[in-house]
């Protein structure tokens, strides 16, 4: 069902367009295939007609050929072969309607610096500089946290070892 809310969704509209492209490509390919068959048939008919004309001229050679037998002064048989033109047109139709398969080529590593001017090695150098400064800033922020974590771990281990050495004294051990 078509609703106003559904019509506004970009993914829905994109899927509809992709579907229409696929249908158009299928229809174009089938139409082109039919036109190719008709062009082939036309070419075959042209050859058959010429063969029959030659055979009739041969059989009626004593009487002056087909044209003399039919009493026609302008009896030149000429059938244009448009099959090659039709085939060229169908190739162009297929090319126009073809929707190439879209594949994912992976991540583009230059996406981060694409806004920079096209300077080649300077862009890459700038990116490395920014990444280096960022790493230093992160390290400077995380260093106190790491030091505190290490101190806490060392004190916890020391406390556990000290508690392992300590044995509570029982009343019997006092000698009473």
Q: Which tens digit of pLDDT belongs to each residue from 152-166?
A: 999 998 888 877 777
In a domain, 105, yes or no: no
Q: Please check whether residues 74 and 17 belong to one and the same domain.
A: yes
Helix segments in the chain, DSSP class H:
4-7, 10-59, 65-70, 83-97, 121-165
Across 41-50, 97-106, 110-119, 124-133, least confident range: 110-119
Spatial contact of 114 and 53, defined as CB atoms under 8 Å apart: no
Q: Please check whether residues 32 and 89 belong to one and the same domain.
A: yes
Q: Please check whether residues 93 and 126 belong to one and the same domain.
A: no
Q: Please check whether residues 90 and 131 belong to one and the same domain.
A: no
Residue 99 has what pLDDT? Answer: 80
| Domain boundaries, position 146 | 121-174
Q: How confident is the model at residue 13 (pLDDT cuts 50, 70, 90)?
A: confident
Q: Residues 116, 121, 125, 128: what is their CA dihedral angle, to the nearest 10 degrees? A: 90
d(CA 94, CA 101): 15
Q: Please check whether residues 30 and 82 belong to one and the same domain.
A: yes
Question: The domain spanning residue 83 has which CATH number?
Answer: 1.10.287.210
Spatial contact of 39 and 82, defined as CB atoms under 8 Å apart: yes
Domains: count for the chain = 2
Q: How confident is the model at residue 168 (pLDDT cuts 50, 70, 90)?
A: low
In a domain, 86, yes or no: yes
């Amino acid at each position: 069902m078509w609703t106003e809310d559904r019509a506004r969704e970009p993914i829905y509209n994109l899927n509809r367009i992709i579907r229409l492209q696929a249908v158009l490509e299928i229809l174009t390919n089938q139409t082109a295939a039919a036109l190719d068959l008709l062009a082939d048939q036309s070419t075959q008919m042209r050859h058959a007609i010429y063969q029959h004309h030659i055979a009739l001229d041969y059989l009626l050679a004593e009487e002056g050929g087909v044209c003399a037998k039919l009493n026609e002064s302008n009896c030149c048989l000429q059938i244009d072969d448009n099959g090659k033109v039709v085939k060229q047109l169908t190739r162009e139709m297929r090319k126009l309607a073809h929707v190439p398969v879209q594949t994912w080529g992976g991540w583009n590593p230059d996406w981060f610096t694409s806004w920079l001017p096209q300077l080649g090695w300077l862009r890459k150098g700038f990116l490395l500089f920014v990444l280096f400064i960022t790493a230093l800033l992160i390290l400077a922020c995380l260093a106190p946290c790491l030091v505190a974590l290490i101190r806490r771990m060392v004190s916890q281990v020391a406390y556990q070892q000290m508690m392992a050495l300590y044995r509570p004294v029982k009343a019997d051990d006092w000698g009473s």
